[in-house]
Amino acid sequence: MICSLNEIEALARKAARGGGMSWGLAEEAGKAVRWLSDNGFPGPSLLAELLRQNDGKTYSELAVQQGNDGVLRAQSGLLCPIIAGALICDQADDLKGGAELRLGNVAVPLLLAPFASEAARSAGVSIALEWSGVKLNLGGAAPGGEGAEAALRVASTETVTLSRAIRPADGTVRPCSDRDVSSETMQSLENYAQRTYAPATAESRAGAGAGQESD
């Protein structure tokens, strides 16, 4: 199914919220999926995979902590790239100055790309985003770099690094838009989105959001 970018962003945002993210994180998820789709990556299916992995986990499990080795990891399990994305943007100036940011045990690492791109834009430099089999150069008109399909779409990876790119990457990665959402992915996201709807009650049937006399 071919969807507009607005439709993709709206569904991703609602699905992320239904999947347990705060509204703020859900907004970021929607923007990230839109960016990926606009740059030729399968944003909706990547989000569906992330929500599957995160399903049932609490925020305290997903919260980011920095180990003694300087690597950022989740408190438990895999690191959520949407939560880690805000940290990437906050460290744009450090990356510009030559610092390296390392993330450990990351879920769906391609979902980090929109945040790395925004950090690159904010700092006015190109940023390299790398994990096993993939190197993306972000900050130009289109993502550059290299990476096989399987490596780009991997469900998790042990280590991700971000650093200032010394020189532009050769070529572009997926230079065309990918707005074709499979029926399976659409159904998965819609199922998460359904969770945002309040269950029917006597009060809601009388009028959703109606206040009590004591309000």
Tens-place pLDDT, residues 124-170: 999 999 999 999 999 877 888 888 889 999 999 999 999 999 765 55
- pLDDT of residue 6 exceeding 80, the answer is yes
- Return the structure tokens found at 202: 């006597």
* Boundaries of domain holding 27: 5-173+182-194
Q: Which of 97-111, 116-130, 175-189 has the lowest mean pLDDT?
A: 175-189
Residue 211 lies in a domain: no
Buried b or exposed e, range 119-153, using 16+ CB within 10 angstroms: bbeebebbbbbbbeebbbbbbeeebbbebeeebbb
pLDDT tier, 18 (very low <50, low <70, confident <90, very high otherwise): very high
The mean predicted confidence, pLDDT, of the chain is 88
pLDDT of 167 reads: 65
Residue 165 lies in a domain: yes
Residue 30 lies in a domain: yes
Tens-place pLDDT, residues 166-182: 765 555 666 556 788 99
Q: How many domains does the chain have?
A: 1
CB-CB contact of 130 with 103 (8 Å): no
pLDDT tier, 86 (very low <50, low <70, confident <90, very high otherwise): confident
Tens-place pLDDT, residues 31-78: 999 999 999 999 999 999 999 999 999 888 899 999 999 999 999 999
Distances (CA, A) of 190 to 6, 51, 155, 194, 203: 15, 12, 20, 6, 25
pTM of the full structure: 0.88
- pLDDT of residue 201 exceeding 50, the answer is no
- Return the structure tokens found at 170: 């050769």
Question: Could you count the other beta carbons within 10 Å of the beta carbon of residue 174?
Answer: 16
Residue 150 lies in a domain: yes
Task: Give the residue-averaged pLDDT of 96-116.
Answer: 97
Task: Give the residue-averaged pLDDT of 183-201.
Answer: 87
